Amino acid sequence: MVSDWGAALETEENANGGLDLEMPGPGHVWGNKLFAAVSEGKVEEELINDKVRRILKIASFTKRFENPDNKPEESHDTEKHRKLLKKAAAGGMVLLKNNNLLPLKSNIKKLAIIGPNAKEAQIIGGGSASLRPHYQAHPLEAFQNKLGDHTNISYAKGCHTHKFLPRVNEGYLWTIKKVF
């Protein structure tokens, strides 16, 4: 379990709560503070050993010990990877799966797709969550491609989503003067 960048704010609570790695390093709430918490008996040493074992297991699995130098990121756009990603995405569609709607049948006559991310999906975040995909298929487009012309697909934006809080309409504001 890895913290979001700068999100680990407590020492003992994070260590005892399942966090394995504070990011980014060097740690602000771990390091000497975590050493002190272990020394004072607030965090069990075996718990730290277990965290280290998990981190080392990942380092071994990813062959980090064999290739310790940072290298440019690379990607492999293969059919095998695409199938795995499609399977993972379909596995995450809990509501549709629980209602026996997946996989979609080609005999659907009408389908409504609602939401601002259906037309242009937000597929990445900022910072370390950024990535450049091999290709994008937004949900509306994917449904249209999958179901073809025999399905009447309706789309509505639904709610508005904003990256930043929208500007306040100043016509709705008034000033209250304090009288002393």
Domain containing 43: what range?
12-61
Do 154 and 97 belong to one domain? yes
pLDDT (mean) for 51-73: 88
Domain total in the chain: 2
Do 100 and 52 belong to one domain? no
Within-domain flag for 36: yes
Q: Does the predicted TM-score (pTM) go above 0.85?
A: no
Do 99 and 145 belong to one domain? yes
pLDDT of residue 178 exceeding 80, the answer is: no
Within-domain flag for 50: yes
Predicted local confidence at residue 149, as pLDDT: 83
Within-domain flag for 180: no
Predicted local confidence at residue 9, as pLDDT: 92
pLDDT of residue 157 exceeding 80, the answer is: yes
Do 98 and 42 belong to one domain? no
Within-domain flag for 1: no
More confident residue, 173 or 154: 154
| CA 38 – CA 48 distance, rounded (Å) | 9
| Known catalytic residue at 4 | yes
Within-domain flag for 109: yes
Annotated active-site residue in 4, 20, 69, 77: 4
Within-domain flag for 69: no
Q: Are the C-beta atoms of residues 148 and 180 closer than 8 Å to each other?
A: no
Within-domain flag for 29: yes
Q: What are the angstrom distances between the C-alpha of 107 and each of 21, 27, 101, 127, 151?
A: 49, 55, 12, 42, 8
pLDDT of residue 57 exceeding 90, the answer is: yes
Within-domain flag for 171: no
Do 154 and 103 belong to one domain? yes
pLDDT in tens, 89-115: 777 776 666 666 666 777 888 989 999
Query: Sorting pLDDT into bands at 50, 70 and 90, what band is 39?
Result: very high
